Amino acid sequence: MAESYWPFDGEDTSETQYSQLFRRMQATGVWGDDTDQSCKLVAGAGLVPVLKAGYALVRGHMYYNDDDLPLTFAAGSAQDRIDRAILRLDPTANSIRAVVLAGTPGSGSPTALTQTDAGIFEISLARVMVTAGSSSISTSNINDERPFMGHVFGEWTTPNRPSNPRKGQPGFNLTDGRPEYWTGAAWKAFVPDITASMITDPENLVVGNSSKVGGRRIYVQSTTPTSPAPAANDIWLW
């Protein structure tokens, strides 16, 4: 059994070790969310869709594309096929490239990704349906498959919330004293407040009784509720 450790002053750290360090600190994926176009494949001219600018982390290595990047797909053959737009990490070539991973005509499935621990590692950005005999790729042919980098759980006050949050970004709001997350349009508490306007008929929940919470009635009785008749998504305890 051997122990290893890195990085330290005066000790060489290999790119494999660097990758092993950073892949455990942050998940492989695109820096962004499904509401933006970071590293997103969009339709272009003919068989040449465009990969939009963006950052991605691929098994601990950083990738950056600073402008629209055309990717050329082969024309449709006699049968439909499913290609992929991928990022391919090649440690031997010291590169991460956006490339087309061609599918097999008629298979109904894309070619499997290569994901090794120290060699080639690929992530899919999009599936692309290339129909039989096709000479173009439209928006409807592109299925977004981008994985996204994980979020760090933050801490802030209401006035100091992140100015450019990513969808799903979580944190603890010190002003409100509770955790919250960004929906893509607004900050939302993990557990919303129950206000008086959400609770009606605030009687005790006992057998034969019912209460209405958040617009849904809760019944406590051994027989099927009939008065008032339960609506969809009401709760019956017996």
More confident residue, 230 or 215: 230
Instruction: Mark whether 184 and 200 lie in a shared domain.
Output: no
Residue 27's domain comprises 15-144
7-33 pLDDT per residue, tens = 999 989 999 999 999 999 999 999 999
Based on the fold, state whether residues 84 and 183 are members of the same structural domain.
Answer: no
Whether residues 120 and 213 fall in one domain: no
Q: Does residue 174 form part of some domain?
A: yes
Residue 149, in any domain of the structure:
no
94 and 163 in a common domain: no
* Whole-structure pTM value: 0.76
Q: Tokens 């027989």, residue? A: 223
165 lies in the same domain as 212: no
Q: Give the span between the Cα atoms of 38 and 51, in whole angstroms.
A: 9
pLDDT tens per residue across span 38-65: 999 999 999 999 999 999 999 999 999 9
**Total number of domains constituting the chain:** 3
The predicted-structure confidence for 88-136, as pLDDT tens digits, reads as follows 999 999 999 999 999 999 999 999 999 999 999 999 999 999 999 999 9
State whether 126 and 224 are in the same domain.
no
Is residue 124 assigned to a domain? yes
**CATH code of the domain in which 69 resides:** 2.60.520
Residue 183 and residue 202 share a domain: no
User: Are 53 and 158 contained in the same domain?
Assistant: no
- 10 assigned to some structural domain: no
Residue 112 lies in a domain: yes
Same domain, residue pair 65 and 159: no
What does the pLDDT look like over 166-213, one tens digit per residue? 999 999 999 999 999 999 999 999 987 765 555 455 444 444 555 566
- Residue 56 and residue 130 share a domain: yes
What per-residue confidence (pLDDT) applies to 171? 96
Q: What is the DSSP string of 154-211?
A: EEE-GGGS-SSPPTT-EEEETTTTEEEEE-SSSEEESS----GGGEES-----TTEEE
* 167 in any annotated domain: yes
Handedness of CA 12, 18, 21, 22 (dihedral sign): positive
Q: What is the pLDDT of residues 142-163, one digit of tens each?
A: 999 999 999 989 999 999 999 9
Q: Are residues 202 and 172 in the same domain?
A: no
Does one domain contain both 120 and 39? Answer: yes
Q: Would residue 129 count as lying in a domain?
A: yes
